[in-house]
Amino acid sequence: MVRRRRTSGILAWLLEALFFKKRSVKIGIYGPPNAGKTTLTNRIIHTFADEEEDVGTASEIPHETRRAVRRGGILIDLKQNLKQFQRTNFNSNPQPLSDPTRNGDPTRNGDPSTNPSTKSGRKGRAKLKLDVVDTPGLATKIDFHDFLAYGLREEEAKQRAKEATEGVIEAIKWLDDIDGVILLMDATQDPYTQTNVVIIGNMEARGIPVVIAANKIDLSSAAPQKIKKAFPQHFVIPISALTGENMPEFYAAMVRRFR
């Protein structure tokens, strides 16, 4: 940033000074094991910070992430990134943005104004500076036997289970340092689990904003509308962290909710 200040004009400096005066927000990516939290975190970093950098490895084996990892200095600028979005915006399997059978608060589920093209029209307001925190998957039970099915040796499985329990505790502790939560759910799974309900309940009690992302909509069994139905009072954005489907709407919702 210092380098940029020197090379750009005073006007740019002023704009930056005005903007960066605002503290960046810490956004925790939470959800059950295997929801795709690390995949999503890596995608956010690739899009807005460094194409080469990964915060962690994604894996089909649950509890792959067993330590929370923070990546700072991410700037989401909807206006600047709009072109890039349009290039990477898959529309092979379009999901309805709002469930036409619902007639609730129009600012919630499938809010049309979270569309980045309308959002970026408002100058200087379509930016969000944030740190993302990839967290270990939250679970109420961990059985080392479950890992044996993935071909782990018994000792490895036991060690992984132990670290996974510590990871859950760490994820919960991190909630105290978080300004906003992305609750990521696997849209092919039942959304109405107690861990999802507990995370939302805690965030509501603390007044911390939540954006729910219904992940894996590239899979034919995905049912993001079930998630919308289960949590009607929240923003629910269907995405695919893997293919990048519908990410522009998701980033717009983040900027809108966490700014």
Q: By beta-carbon distance, which residue lies closest to ligand GTP?
A: 137
In sequence order, which residues have a C-beta less than 8 Å from that of residue 24 and are 6 or more positions away?
72, 73, 74, 129, 130, 131
Q: Which is nearer to other proteins, 69 or 172 (CB)?
A: 172
Query: Could you give the string, one character per residue 59-78, with x where binding to ligand GTP holds by CB under 6 A and - elsewhere?
Result: xx-xxxx-------------
Quick check: 93 binds other proteins (CB under 8 A)? no
Shortest distance in whole angstroms from residue 160 CB to ligand GTP? 10
Shortest distance in whole angstroms from residue 137 CB to ligand GTP? 3
Query: Quick one: 207 exposed, middle or buried, by C-beta within 10 A (0-12, 13-18, 19+)?
Result: exposed
Quick check: 81 binds ligand GTP (CB under 6 A)? no
Quick check: 153 binds other proteins (CB under 8 A)? no
Using alpha carbons, list the distances in angstroms from residue 57 to 40, 48, 117, 189: 11, 18, 32, 22
| b/e sequence 108-139, b meaning 16+ C-beta within 10 Å | bbbbeebebeebbeeeeebbbbbbbbbbbbbb
Quick check: 33 binds ligand GTP (CB under 6 A)? yes
Please state the φ and ψ torsions of residue 129, each to the nearest 5 degrees.
-100, 125
Contact with Mg ion (CB under 5 A) among 34, 42, 47, 65: 65
Q: Which is nearer to other proteins, 97 or 172 (CB)?
A: 172
Looking only at the bridges linking them, the beta strands covering 127-134 and 235-238 are: unpaired
Quick check: 185 binds other proteins (CB under 8 A)? no
Quick check: 240 binds ligand GTP (CB under 6 A)? yes
What residue ranges bind Mg ion (CB under 5 A)?
37-38, 64-65
